């Protein structure tokens, strides 16, 4: 088998892998990108983008629900689920081809296939051997396998995004982002939704008060939420599925058409033969240093969802890809800085957050001001008949810097980016208060969210 040589061989053509190509191609390095499935990876093909098409339909149903508040009479909405899925698929169908063209313009050689290590600097794909001065693992993540009897009955978010039949009922094992985002859409579309979460709190890494707001709104929609449960087994039940779980030692059962694995995602690194590459790893996590480089093989970098220590988010995958690309070009000197990276749970309305939670803020020992507002009575929320409008902003009293911001409500997924900017570029609470905002907008409420100076 002839060996081909490249400066950089990237395994995975998602946000992370594509992120690597910018800096290395600008430096004139030769790049091979191996992609096993669709170029673009999870976010545009099986994640953020198609999911948001469904969320947009959920938003429309939410608006219709409140039509009466605006004195608009509408009949009962009827969602054509199959047509919605077709719309979703139609919107994303050209993405892999467009990205292939973009990579070709960038003079990246895209190779279809599944890459595996054969040595510390060589990857096999099909019948080709690609030798790289650097190898990048950008292979993303996959749903966490659950050691529950009957786990094979569960479907994944990939399955949900292509299912043209709206189930009458569904159960999510895990109460994280996937359960809440899809749960809101399905509940609004008319399905009975149950969430079974192992920990005492849904979305366990997010601010407890913000999650309580979202939980209340989710229950208002009719979603049944059980936290602190132990899912014991899943079994067939006459064309449906039965999930047996315990809560406080008492056994319960829930029955639904579909059971979804919403229990998190793990790095997609099985099958890469990391041992052949000399890439140290344990429990599905590659050992990396602060430059996103393998601790045992300095030729190898890791970025995106395959990184064991950073949030599995699309902009973070792109950002880490860029860091890796710059480290390949200039030598390992760039370290990721995740401060100011905003995130949203795209329920309707969304929960959006940036920075640290109130619990973490108190744990740091900082002297803080915590500004909490239920804004449903504020003119901005009342005019739109919002069902929830809530904010918490945590400010360091000494430096006046924003430590964290947490919102649940309309506009929150946009508002949060202002607070991301503030955290990243040390814009103080007073400066945010002093700014003149367009009025009437949700951003104009920032002054009041921070308390009048």
Ligand X SMILES: NC(=O)c1ccc[n+]([C@@H]2O[C@H](COP(=O)([O-])OP(=O)(O)OC[C@H]3O[C@@H](n4cnc5c(N)ncnc54)[C@H](O)[C@@H]3O)[C@@H](O)[C@H]2O)c1
Applying CB under 6 A, the residues found at the interface with ligand X are 146, 173-179, 181, 196-199, 204, 231, 262-265, 311-313, 343-346
Strands 128-137, 300-302: parallel, antiparallel or unpaired by DSSP? parallel
Least Å from the CB of residue 353 to ligand X:
11
Least Å from the CB of residue 270 to ligand FAD:
9
Cα–Cα dist 445/293, whole Å? 43
* Dihedral angle sign, alpha carbons of residues 410, 412, 413, 417: positive
Rounded to the nearest 10 degrees, how much is the dihedral formed by the CA atoms of 351, 354, 355, 358? Answer: -20
Complex with ligand X: residue 147 or 365, whichever CB lies closer: 147
Complex with ligand FAD: residue 352 or 429, whichever CB lies closer: 352
Angle at 14 between CA 9 and CA 16, to 5 degrees: 70
Least Å from the CB of residue 54 to ligand X:
12
Least Å from the CB of residue 174 to ligand X:
3
Query: What proportions of the chain, in percent to the nearest 5, are helix, strand and coil?
Result: 35, 30, 35
Do 433 and 453 meet the contact criterion of CB atoms below 8 Å apart? yes
Least Å from the CB of residue 344 to ligand X:
6
14 binds ligand FAD (CB under 6 A): yes
Complex with ligand X: residue 286 or 328, whichever CB lies closer: 286
Binding mask 264-303 for ligand FAD (x = CB under 6 A): ----x---x-------------------------------
Structure-block tokens of residue 246: 């315990």
Q: Binders of ligand FAD among 18-57, rule CB under 6 A?
A: 34-37, 41-43, 47-48, 51
13 binds ligand FAD (CB under 6 A): yes
Q: Binders of ligand FAD among 130-159, rule CB under 6 A?
A: 138-140, 157
The site partner of 115 among ligand FAD, ligand X, none (C-beta below 5 to 8 Å per kind) is ligand FAD
Least Å from the CB of residue 259 to ligand X:
11
Comparing CA positions, the residue from 85, 80, 83, 82 lying closest to residue 53 is 85
Complex with ligand FAD: residue 176 or 409, whichever CB lies closer: 176
**Of the residues 99, 178, 202, 288, which one makes contact with ligand FAD according to CB under 6 A:** 178
Complex with ligand FAD: residue 140 or 174, whichever CB lies closer: 140
Can you list the alpha helix ranges (DSSP code H) found in 190-302? Answer: 208-220
Comparing CA positions, the residue from 9, 14, 6 lying closest to residue 320 is 14
Complex with ligand X: residue 103 or 202, whichever CB lies closer: 202
Cα–Cα dist 183/203, whole Å? 13
- Total of residues contacting ligand FAD (CB under 6 A): 35
Strands 265-267, 258-261: parallel, antiparallel or unpaired by DSSP? unpaired
Cα Rg for the chain, rounded, in angstroms? 23
115 binds ligand FAD (CB under 6 A): yes
Complex with ligand X: residue 39 or 243, whichever CB lies closer: 243
Cα–Cα dist 293/307, whole Å? 10
Complex with ligand FAD: residue 49 or 373, whichever CB lies closer: 49
Question: Strand runs (DSSP E) across 222-360, as ranges?
Answer: 224-226, 229-237, 240-247, 250-256, 258-261, 265-267, 281-282, 285-286, 300-302, 343-345, 351-355
* Dihedral angle sign, alpha carbons of residues 284, 286, 287, 289: negative
Cα–Cα dist 351/404, whole Å? 13
The site partner of 345 among ligand FAD, ligand X, none (C-beta below 5 to 8 Å per kind) is ligand X
Tell me the sheet residues that pair with 370. Answer: 394
Q: What are phi and psi of 286, to 5 degrees?
A: -80, 135
Least Å from the CB of residue 283 to ligand X:
15
Complex with ligand X: residue 95 or 385, whichever CB lies closer: 95
The site partner of 299 among ligand X, ligand FAD, none (C-beta below 5 to 8 Å per kind) is none
Complex with ligand FAD: residue 144 or 153, whichever CB lies closer: 144
Least Å from the CB of residue 95 to ligand X:
18
The site partner of 366 among ligand FAD, ligand X, none (C-beta below 5 to 8 Å per kind) is none
The site partner of 132 among ligand X, ligand FAD, none (C-beta below 5 to 8 Å per kind) is none
Tell me the CB-side half-sphere exposure of residue 438, using CA atoms within 13 A.
3
Task: Name the site residues for ligand FAD (rule: CB under 6 A).
Answer: 11-17, 34-37, 41-43, 47-48, 51, 114-115, 138-140, 157, 178, 268, 272, 304-306, 312-315, 317, 346
């Amino acid at each position: 088998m002839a060996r081909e040589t490249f400066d950089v061989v990237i395994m995975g053509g998602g946000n992370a892998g594509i992120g690597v190509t910018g800096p290395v191609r600008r430096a004139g390095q030769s790049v091979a990108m191996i992609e096993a499935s669709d170029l673009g990876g999870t976010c545009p093909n099986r994640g953020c983008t198609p999911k948001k098409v469904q969320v947009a339909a959920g938003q429309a149903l939410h608006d219709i629900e409140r039509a009466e508040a605006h004195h608009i009479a509408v009949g009962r909405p009827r969602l054509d689920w199959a047509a919605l899925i077709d719309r979703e698929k139609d919107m994303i169908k050209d993405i892999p081809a467009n990205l292939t063209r973009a990579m070709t313009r960038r003079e990246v050689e895209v190779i279809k296939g599944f890459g595996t290590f054969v040595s510390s600097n060589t990857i096999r794909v099909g019948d080709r051997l690609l030798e790289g001065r650097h190898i990048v693992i950008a292979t993303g993540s996959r749903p966490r396998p659950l050691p529950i009897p009957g786990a094979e009955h569960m479907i994944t978010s990939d399955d949900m995004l292509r299912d043209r039949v709206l189930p009458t009922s569904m159960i999510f094992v895990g109460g994280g982002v996937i359960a809440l985002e899809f749960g809101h859409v399905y509940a609004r579309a008319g399905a009975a939704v149950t969430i079974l979460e192992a920990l005492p709190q849904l979305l366990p890494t997010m601010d407890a008060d913000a999650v309580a707001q979202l939980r209340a709104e989710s229950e208002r929609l009719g979603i049944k939420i059980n936290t602190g449960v132990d899912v014991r087994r899943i079994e067939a039940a006459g064309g449906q599925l039965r999930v047996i779980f315990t809560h406080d030692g008492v056994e319960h059962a829930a029955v639904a058409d579909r059971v979804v694995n919403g229990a998190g995602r793990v790095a997609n690194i099985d099958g890469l033969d990391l041992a052949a590459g000399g890439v140290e790893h344990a429990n599905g996590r590659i050992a990396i240093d602060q430059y996103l480089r393998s601790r045992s093989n300095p030729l190898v970098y890791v970025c995106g969802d395959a990184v064991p220590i950073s949030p599995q988010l699309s902009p973070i995958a792109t950002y880490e890809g860029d860091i890796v690309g710059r480290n390949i070009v200039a030598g390992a000197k760039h370290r990721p800085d995740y401060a100011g990276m905003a995130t949203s749970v795209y329920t309707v309305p969304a929960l959006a957050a940036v920075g640290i939670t109130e619990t973490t803020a108190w744990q740091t020992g900082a002297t803080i001001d915590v500004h909490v507002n239920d804004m449903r009575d504020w003119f901005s929320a009342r005019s739109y008949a919002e069902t929830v409008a809530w904010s918490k902003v945590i400010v360091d009293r000494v430096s006046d810097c924003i430590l964290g911001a947490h919102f649940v409500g309309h506009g929150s997924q946009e508002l949060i980016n202002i607070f991301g900017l503030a955290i990243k570029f040390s814009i103080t609470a007073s400066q945010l208060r002093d700014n003149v905002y367009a009025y009437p907008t949700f951003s104009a409420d920032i002054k009041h969210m921070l308390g009048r100076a």
